[in-house]
């Protein structure tokens, strides 16, 4: 593998991460545009079952499509903005509650506090809150969206089983996430994926309720005549939403995974630079990979913040090879741990 240097690696991964992040609003608005195109093609914009002149079904009418797209764009972006505000306000407290993390002060653990404080001074990084989780296995993660909420969380097993150099390297990795605002970036990614998942789930629930209701009231609709056509149109709309939200979810989910993997490489390089000892982080990653902690937290959106994802590490230990291994990595939030160690050992 070609050696490129720490700063070059950081610059390349930051550039690629920005490109990947910009894909999210494009995917979201693209999904809206495709949904409108689908509705136009099937004749949704015909009123009372009669198409106005020039508005036949099975054709695209771009003046109509762009009209509705421009009309939907402000609503789409405003709803996304509201979703972001909610996620920003609740993210830190939710993570702390899920992981059962407890804050630690200097008097509670002088060793850990001094390591974090010294690295913050050396790197010119804001001093974060330090949390500890009672877990005999090893793991760590950074979280937060702004200076008051930035937090480093360590398991008790990590603190007890790593020496000072290894623990400093792990803390340096998490501080790099904070310095590069990776934690904020991952909140953005999680929110975008959540938008598509919510649209998909809501549409499926509504379609299911509509199907159940239509069976119970089929005789009454037949007597009234026009009700069946309205129900059918609503079903078509929901099916279109399900299809395009599923496509949007898939691409946004894959983009989120790609961003997460890129950021781990950047944080590894940043830790090696901050501590001046890349082999210490390589040694720490080996120990963590043998017994990754926080496996009981059954939330993949939180687990992607860990220095090593417990479930993915179990899959990687199955020794997959060839195209199967490459395909598996594409669906992982973290790069392959041996690959990360190999890069660190080059420095």
Which pLDDT value is given to residue 229? 62
- pLDDT score of 210: 73
- Do the beta carbons of residue 150 and residue 111 sit within 8 Å? no
Q: Is 228 exposed, middle or buried (0-12, 13-18, 19+ CB in 10 A)?
A: middle
Alpha helices in the chain (DSSP H): 6-41, 62-99, 110-123, 156-161, 164-179, 182-216, 218-224, 227-275, 278-290, 300-303, 310-316, 322-330, 337-344
Q: Is 290 a catalytic residue?
A: no
User: H-helix or E-strand containing 104?
Assistant: strand 102-104
Give mean pLDDT in consecutive 10-residue pieces for the chain, a chain of 347 residues. Answer: 57 69 78 82 63 61 87 83 74 85 92 96 92 95 88 96 97 93 78 78 81 61 53 76 83 79 88 92 95 85 88 60 61 86 87
Q: Which of 166, 174, 264, 313 is catalytic?
A: 174
Confirm if 99 and 297 have CB atoms less than 8 A apart.
Answer: yes
Position 221 scores a pLDDT of 47
Q: 113: closest CA among 126, 135, 130?
A: 130
For 334, list phi and psi in degrees, rounded to 5: -120, 145
Contact status, residue 40 vs residue 65, Cβ threshold 8 Å: yes
Q: How far is CA 139 from CA 26, 135, 155, in A?
A: 35, 9, 6
Q: How far apart are the first and last CA of the chain?
A: 12
Hey, where are the domains in the chain? 1-347
Rounded Cα distance, 312 and 297, in Å: 14
Q: What is the pLDDT of residue 122?
A: 92
Both tokens assigned to 5: 């240097």
Residue 6's pLDDT is 56
Four-point Cα dihedral 233, 237, 238, 239, nearest 10: 100
């Amino acid at each position: 593998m070609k050696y490129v240097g720490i700063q070059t690696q950081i610059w390349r991964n930051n550039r690629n991460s920005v490109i990947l992040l910009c894909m999210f609003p494009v995917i979201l608005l693209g999904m809206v545009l495709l949904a409108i195109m689908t509705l136009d093609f099937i004749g949704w914009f015909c009123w009372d079952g009669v198409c106005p002149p020039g508005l036949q079904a099975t054709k695209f009418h771009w003046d109509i499509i762009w009209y509705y797209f421009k009309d939907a764009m402000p609503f789409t972006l405003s709803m996304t903005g509201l979703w972001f505000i909610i996620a920003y306000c609740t993210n830190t407290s939710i993570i702390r509650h899920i992981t059962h993390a407890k804050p630690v002060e200097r008097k509670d653990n002088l060793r850990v506090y001094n390591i974090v404080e010294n690295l913050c001074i050396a790197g010119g990084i804001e001093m974060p809150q330090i949390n500890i989780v009672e877990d005999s296995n090893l793991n760590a993660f950074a979280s937060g969206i702004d200076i008051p909420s930035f937090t480093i969380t360590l398991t008790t097993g990590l603190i007890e089983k790593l020496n000072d150099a290894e623990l400093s390297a792990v803390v340096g990795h998490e501080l790099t996430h904070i310095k590069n605002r990776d934690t904020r970036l991952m909140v953005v990614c999680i929110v975008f994926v959540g938008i598509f998942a919510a649209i998909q789930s809501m549409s499926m629930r509504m379609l299911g309720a509509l199907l159940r209701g239509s069976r119970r009231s089929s005789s009454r609709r037949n007597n009234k005549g026009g009700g069946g056509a309205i129900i059918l149109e609503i079903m078509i709309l929901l099916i279109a939403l399900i299809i395009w939200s599923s496509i949007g979810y898939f691409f946004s989910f894959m983009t989120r995974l790609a961003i997460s993997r890129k950021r781990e490489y950047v944080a590894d390089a940043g830790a090696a630079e901050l501590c001046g000892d890349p082999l210490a982080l390589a040694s720490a990653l080996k120990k963590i990979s043998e017994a990754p902690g926080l496996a009981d937290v059954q939330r993949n959106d939180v687990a992607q913040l860990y220095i090593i994802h417990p479930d993915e590490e179990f899959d990687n230990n199955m020794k997959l090879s060839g195209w199967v291994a490459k395909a598996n990595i594409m669906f992982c939030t973290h790069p392959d741990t041996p690959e990360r160690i190999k890069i660190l050992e080059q420095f």
